[in-house]
Structure formats: structure tokens, C-alpha cells
Structure 1
Amino acid sequence: MMTGYRNILWALPLVLVLSWPIWGGAFTRVLAPRGGMDSGATLAAPKAATAGAGFSMEGVLFSQLKNGVRDWQIQAKRLYSGEDQDRMQLVAVEAQVFKNAERRFVITGQEGEYNSKQKVLTMRNEVKVQAEKGMLIQSDSLSYDDQARKITTQDPVQITDKNLDIRGMGMAYDMEKDSYDVRGRVKVDFQ
């Protein structure tokens, strides 16, 4: 028979391993995660990224038709929504605006937001508006209001055409009247 502390220390792990079927189930239930966690779950996304999250799509193209004729079209590298489902956030955006089925403008920008209730597209970050007749409008941000059929900005704006360079602080373009209103201290250079 074994005696001494050294022999007891050797026998204790052996007894624990051999008796595992008796007490192991109760021990694992105590250590099991609570709160409905899935045992196969991976690391979760940060709470701020998922709170109120809506949807996200890559490579999006959507159009609006009026009386069977294309009115405008938006293409984006990425589209996503947050808590407000009526406001869609856009990345790398190109919008085309039509009048009587003819393309009038191509608006590009790095970021955008489309409000589907108000039918307003707001573009930010290196925004350019290229008119079919050759005119180029550049600004840090601008909005296209589909219901009013107007393009507006409150930021510095530069409008260039064949022999013309106009700079100002803010602009409004009315598609129905085909008229521009450049605001602020307007500087006009003829080339």
C-alpha cells in the first residue's frame, strides 16, 4: 500500500479523471454561458455598427420612371441605410438626370444621401455636374430636388463652359426655366 504525501498527490488527479462521468456534467453546466449565446458564435460586430442597422448593398443601380420615361438614375458602389429607412447613404455615386428622355446632367461625388420621402439627392465630396451641352459645375456639396427640379448648393461653386469661368458662393439651377442663379461675390472670367 502507498503511503506518504507524495503518493496522495499522484493519486488525486487519477481519482478526478476516473470520477469525471459522475461530477463532470454538473461542472460544465455551471461554466456554460448564459443569455442565449450560441456555442458556435464568433466575435460579434461592435454594438455601434449594428445598432439600428438597416441594409447594405454593393453595386447598386436604380431608376425612376415618369409616364414610362426614365426621369433619373442613380448608380453607387455601395448603398446602406441606418435607423431612418427613408435616408439611404451612398458611396461613389453617379446620378443621371433626364428631361423628356434626354440626359441633361451627370452628377458625380464620393458620398451621397438619398431621401426617398422628400425625393432629394444630396452629394458631398468632390461633386461635379456635367451638362450634356458641355458646362461643368464643381462644388463641395450640392442637392438635387426631384420634385422642384432644382440643383442647389450653399458652398463655393465654379461653373465653367467653353469661354466662361464663373465662381460664387452658392447656386440654384432651375431645370424647368433653364436658369442659373449664382450667389455671393460672383467673379466672371471670359477666356
Structure 2
Amino acid sequence: MWERITRRILLTVSILLATFLGYLVVKNADSVPSSQSIAPESIEQADAKILEFIFTQSKGDAVQWQVQAKQARMFEHDKRALLQDVALTFYGTGGDKVTVHGDEGTLDTATKNFRLANRDTPIVVETRSGYTIYTNHLVWTDNAREIRTADPVRMVGHGLEVRGQGLLGRMESEEFEVLQDVHVDLASS
């Protein structure tokens, strides 16, 4: 008797879970993957369109980073700029610099955070310490001075190839952490 009741309860719970999972799959089927465009707004909605856009972030007399884009669409109410054909340069304390390029980006003009994405080829980050990082999407958080992504990542350098999911990088100290599903291989010389 108890076995029959237990089986029915388990069957009911299984059906409810399967229904819930089906709902989640259908609901999230329309969500946009991170490799797609991050700038869906039309040009008519922008408050201003700027060709050859340059935005420089400095602290005191020292330039910390600079964003250059072929085109920017400014949305003043949202405090953001949508950028096309972007070059982002980080400046180190010793005069070193690291430049990354992306097809498109979004700059939050209030927080100075930005996103950089490529549609087809990976973004390439060449560090001063000799590592090269490949990913399709990067997010810069200005207050923490960190780059981050949840996308697949590949790092190559010093005889190693590191692959995984997600990255957290501190630009000033050049410390980079692959966050999940990490695989390390010896790279061929």
C-alpha cells in the first residue's frame, strides 16, 4: 500500500519537474546568445551619431584606458554609447599598453564600464607577460579594474594552452583566471 502511494507521489513530482523544465526550455528558446549583436537599437533612436569616436579615461594626469570607434550612437537618457569597429587600449603604469579590437561595444558613460564583442573571430588580448587570450566577448568593470567573460576562453603562452569557460582578469597585475571547465595542454613549440 505504502509503495503504491510513494510511487504515485514520485511519478507526480517527476511529471511536474518535466513540465517545469519544458516551460524553461520554451521560455528561454528566444533568448539571445552572447555571440550575437549587443546593439539592436536603430540609428533613428539615438540622440547623436558620432564618427571617429574617442573616449579617454584618466586619473590625474595618467591615461588609464581609451576607447576608439569608427562610429558611436549616443543614448543620453540611458547613459550609454553603442560603438562599431572598436579599439580599446589599456595603459599600464610603466608606459606599457594593451590594445584589443572588437566588432562592436557598449560604453556606459556613467560608470565607465563597457562591453566588447566580436561576431565571427575571437577578440585577441596580448598581455605584456607573453600570454595571448582569445574570446568572443569581454566586459570591463572600471571600479574593480577587471575584465570578465562567461564565454569560452583560450589562453596561449609560455608553452601552455589553457582552455575553459569564463575569465576574470585584473589588468594592472596581469592576473587571469579561467573560471570553469579548465583544460591545460602543453603547446607545441
TM over 0.5: yes
How much does 1:140 deviate?
Answer: 1.3
| Counterpart position of 1:144 | 140
Give aligned pairs, total: 144
How much does 1:79 deviate?
Answer: 0.9
Query: Are residue 171 (structure 1) and residue 167 (structure 2) matched?
Result: yes
| Counterpart position of 1:70 | 63
1:186 to 1:65, Cα distance in 2 relative to 1, 3 A: same
The counterpart of 1:129, out of the listed 90, 113, 125, is 125
1:152 to 1:53, Cα distance in 2 relative to 1, 3 A: same
| Amino acid of the structure 1 residue aligned with 2:65 | W
The within-5 A match list for 1:51-90 is 52-82=45-75, 84-90=77-83
Determine if contact 1:79/1:90 at 8 Å carries over to the other structure. yes
What is the rounded CA distance, in whole Å, between the counterparts of 2:150 and 2:104 in structure 1?
17
What is the rounded CA distance, in whole Å, between the counterparts of 2:168 and 2:177 in structure 1?
5
What is the rounded CA distance, in whole Å, between the counterparts of 1:61 and 1:51 in structure 2?
21
| Amino acid of the structure 1 residue aligned with 2:72 | L
The counterpart of 2:110, out of the listed 110, 117, 137, is 117
What is the rounded CA distance, in whole Å, between the counterparts of 1:124 and 1:70 in structure 2?
23
What is the rounded CA distance, in whole Å, between the counterparts of 1:88 and 1:164 in structure 2?
37
Gap runs ≥5 in structure 1: 1-47
| Counterpart position of 2:93 | 100
What is the rounded CA distance, in whole Å, between the counterparts of 1:109 and 1:54 in structure 2?
23
How much does 1:145 deviate?
Answer: 1.2
| Amino acid of the structure 1 residue aligned with 2:87 | E
Determine if contact 2:92/2:172 at 8 Å carries over to the other structure. no
Query: Are residue 154 (structure 1) and residue 154 (structure 2) matched?
Result: no
1:50 to 1:190, Cα distance in 2 relative to 1, 3 A: closer
Aligned with 1:100: secondary structure? coil
Segment drifting more, 49-58 vs 84-93:
49-58
For residues 96-122 of structure 1, the C-alpha deviation after alignment (integer angstroms, 9 at most, x for no partner) is 111225234212110100111121110
1:115 to 1:165, Cα distance in 2 relative to 1, 3 A: same
Structure scoring higher RCO (CA < 8 A, sep ≥ 6) equals 2
Determine if contact 1:71/1:101 at 8 Å carries over to the other structure. no
Q: TM-score, normalised by structure 1?
A: 0.68
Larger radius of gyration: 1
How much does 1:65 deviate?
Answer: 1.8
Root mean square deviation of aligned Cα: 2.0
What is the rounded CA distance, in whole Å, between the counterparts of 1:164 and 1:89 in structure 2?
36
What is the rounded CA distance, in whole Å, between the counterparts of 1:66 and 1:101 in structure 2?
15
